A and B are shown apart, each in its own frame.
Chain A
Amino acid sequence: MAGEIQERGLAVRQPSSLSTRSQSLLARLSGETTLGRRPHARPYQAYLFILPGLLLYLVFVLIPIVNTFRYSFYEWTGFSEPTYIGLDNYTNLFRDKDFWTAISHNFFFVIFYTILPILLGLFLTSLLTRQRLRGMVFFRTGLFIPYVMSPVVVGIIWRWLFALDGPINHVLDAVGLSSVARPWLGDFTFAPYATGLVGTWIEYGLCMVIFIAGAQSINEELYDTAIVFGANAWQQFRYVTLPGLRQQILVAFVITFIAAMRLFDLIFVLTSGGGPGKTTLVTSVLLYTEAFNQNHAGYATSMAVVLTVIILVVSVVVTRLQARSEAEELV
């Protein structure tokens, strides 16, 4: 990804020559690259080089995916002899109200995992890129750290922060907002928001870093021109930065959307797997309890397949959008 950003950055700085650009576009659209067109004496050597990686990928990724798909048509405890039951797992799944609850919560968390981090990331980018800032590296690193931490660690930290006698409630008490203080993670109304905010805290750093990298490749002259025409900070952001970051926003969207769909460890630690009640129950947690606590492994795999399909569909749609905007940009 970093490579892609860099490559694009270079592309923008290249003296604009329409013909070479459209050529490279053609090459990209038809799946050819300069590298691919280079004559190669012994092509099998290349395959030999990728063989070790391919084998690992096959054994640990492709085969399990195919097996997951296969087991979704079986009744299977996870260790018994699987029995073929056709589409029964899927029909049961669509009748399972816990599944619908969980999937709706995943989409609720998209607000906190995807939309808020992107907005926050854009805001921080505009703060951190437009003027030379003393200690830039410090801010950038500091703001990125939450994303690098293990979700389990994040969960434990925030469980402590949200605790009844934890720092958040202490601060509220200290500023005279005792009536607002509450057991955040045990409250039916506030637990989903509290949990969601932790997600925002994790993901905004990633969005920010992607956007900063993108913003650095926006042609400075565009800003200069905008300033000459009297654009204020907001207008510069709206008409220069934002269009320039379209690609990066789509990338950030896909990554954080997938994170919201796959959400597991944070919920597992933070709200003991979906509490209070089932207010923060998400699909992966439900899948885990079905597979490992209730021994409905076959049923759980059907849930995994549906989740994968949702992620795939959204990713494909976004990638299409990305390709289209790239085409517009280049033509």
Chain B
Amino acid sequence: MFKLRPFVIALVAVLVVLAVAPAAAQETTVLTVWDVWTRDVEDAMGEELAAEFEAAHPGVDVQRTAYLFDDLMTTLPLALSDEGGPDVAAVNQGRTSMGALVEAGLILPLNEYADEYGWWNRYAPVLHARNSFTEDGSVYGEGNMYGMSNTAEVVGAYYWKQAFADMGLEIPTTFAEFETLLQTIKDAGHTPLAFGSLDGWPAIHEYSAIQHPLSTVQAIDDFIFRREGATFVDDANLLAAQKLVEWVDAGYFPDGFEGMDYDNATLQTFLNQDAVMWITGSWMTSVLVEQAGEEGIGFFVIPPADPEDPPLAIGGVGIPFGISARSANPDLAAEYIDFITGPDTAARLLEVGFLPAAPVDPSALTEGTLTADTVNAWNLISSKNAVGHYLDWAVPLDDLNASLQELLAKQITPEEFVAQVQEAYEGAA
């Protein structure tokens, strides 16, 4: 009997610990965050931001995981419909991503938080449409805000300054001048544009870089948001397709561009100065700065057909952050989103090579650098409300890629191309 005592004491001790442990655990609130900051510098920034947020909120444990974009896109719907998913997650824009999550009631509307924290004016108000859906997810571009972005993108032309100087070229102010510029470079014996269509999607940017200046904000908005009467079969889109084929025939793209991928072949073509310009998105600025420095390369937005018009370029706010409908702490999640999309974070984003969505203090920029060129290009289109769209927000990416590759290889005519895109557009409704 006497011998049992130590066991009883041990048992009581264990029970006490078990009883206290949950109470102790309750004091820490776990905030699970899924983002797409996978590169080393981005990941380090994400960790710093999380640590700062924890420091400012005692008892909060931010558990942050960085996913590759594609992985997150395929995992997120299931994770959000299950217990144990993230509180805050990067949610891709567009009907098939954010729209489907809204329709399934998996993410929260953020309007009240936007009012509370003043998110509406953090970047051009018109851009909020891209993160908005009606409550049933049926209408894109209207209704509630479901995501708040902190980065921005603009597609334009990178160019080698020395090559421009050697050939006496100036940054064009109209689309016609831009085409003349291409021909001048070609005549001088150089390849005007770095481009490869093996991966498919870069062709969307190439096509849109022609299409946007020839079209109007209204027409492109209507198409993306599927407003009444919207169609792909119009003169501007057809003309853009014809021009793209003309560019192929004129030899503006490198030989064998059909077999060039984006990350290696195209990047190397531009870096080796085998091509004078490269039409792609501002996300390449950090890579180009790393490889070639701030001074050698410049960036401009493809100019409009009419110099009086604002330059319409594909661009927008980057992948936004949303709040899971299953989150136990939505208010805390909103506070976190406020923090990572706010002005303090903007400067940090610029440091690691992102283009911040919120305006950057001009004093933080050195004129004549590639970074400054990129920020200025974004400010230009953002301030003039001339932000275009990625076509794959409305047309399934795979159909679009295939149709563009067919157009570039002249397997189909420009007329067939616009008809084919229209068909895919209707099929995805």
Contacts and interface: CB of A to CB of B under 8 A. Distances in A.
Interface of A: 77-80, 159, 162-165, 182-188, 271-278, 281, 289, 292-295
A182 to B, nearest CB: 7
A186 B402 contact: no
A159 B261 CA distance: 10
Interface in B390-420: 396-398, 401-403, 405-406, 409, 411
A126 B212 CA distance: 62
B104 interface: yes
A163 B265 contact: yes
Contacts of A159: 261
Contacts of A182: 256, 259
A293 B405 contact: no
B60 interface: no
Interface residues of B, number: 35
B396 A293 contact: yes
B149 to A, nearest CB: 21
Given A162-B259, A183-B259, A186-B256, A275 B401 contact: yes
Contacts of A289: 396, 398
Contacts of B258: 183, 186-187, 276
28 contacts: A77-B103, A79-B81, A79-B106, A163-B261, A164-B255, A164-B259, A165-B265, A182-B259, A183-B257, A183-B258, A183-B260, A184-B259, A186-B258, A186-B259, A187-B258, A272-B200, A274-B402, A275-B200, A275-B402, A275-B405, A276-B198, A276-B402, A276-B409, A278-B402, A289-B396, A289-B398, A293-B398, A295-B77
B78 interface: yes
Contacts of B197: 186, 276
A13 B174 CA distance: 85
Nearest to A162: B259
Nearest to A187: B258
B96 A293 contact: yes
B250 interface: no
Given A79-B106, A182-B256, A183-B259, A272 B96 contact: no
A64 to B, nearest CB: 14
Contacts of B255: 164
A194 B428 CA distance: 32
Interface of B: 73-74, 77-78, 80-81, 96, 100, 103-104, 106, 197-200, 255-261, 264-265, 396-398, 401-403, 405-406, 409, 411, 428
Q: Which 9 A-B pairs have the closest CB atoms?
A: A183-B259, A186-B258, A186-B259, A183-B256, A79-B77, A164-B256, A276-B405, A277-B406, A164-B259
A295 B396 CA distance: 11
A186 B398 contact: no
A275 B398 CA distance: 9
Contact of A294 (B104, B396, B401, B402): B396
Contacts of B256: 164, 182-183, 186
Contacts of A165: 265
A222 to B, nearest CB: 50
A181 to B, nearest CB: 8
Given A274-B402, A295-B96, A188 B411 contact: yes
A41 to B, nearest CB: 44
Contacts of B401: 272, 275
A129 to B, nearest CB: 40
Contacts of A186: 197-198, 256-260, 405
A295 B100 contact: yes
A273 B199 CA distance: 9
B396 A277 contact: no
Contacts of B78: 78-79
B104 A77 contact: yes
Main secondary structure of the interface of B (DSSP, over half): helix
A160 B18 CA distance: 58
Contact of B265 (A78, A164, A271): A164
A152 to B, nearest CB: 14
Contacts of B77: 77-79, 295
A80 B199 CA distance: 31
A188 B259 CA distance: 11
A186 B202 CA distance: 14
B260 A277 contact: no
Given A183-B259, A187-B258, A293-B398, A275 B103 contact: no
Contacts of A78: 77-78
B259 A185 contact: yes
A77 B101 CA distance: 10
A97 to B, nearest CB: 10
Contacts of B81: 79
B275 to A, nearest CB: 14
B199 A272 contact: yes
Contacts of A281: 402
A205 B111 CA distance: 61
Contact of A185 (B74, B198, B398, B402): B198
B265 A79 contact: no
Contacts of B96: 293-295
Contact of B409 (A162, A188, A272, A274): A188
A292 B199 CA distance: 19
Nearest to B405: A276
A272 B397 contact: no
A77 B258 CA distance: 34
Contacts of B402: 274-278, 281
A77 B80 CA distance: 14
Nearest to B424: A98
A265 to B, nearest CB: 14
Contacts of A275: 198-200, 401-402, 405
A272 B258 CA distance: 12
Contacts of A292: 73-74
Contacts of B403: 277
A51 B186 CA distance: 72
Contacts of B396: 289, 293-294
Contacts of A79: 77-78, 80-81, 100, 104, 106
Contacts of B411: 188, 277
A188 B402 CA distance: 11
Contacts of A278: 402
A295 B401 CA distance: 18
Nearest to B264: A163
B198 A272 contact: yes
Nearest to B258: A186
A278 B255 CA distance: 22
Nearest to B99: A295
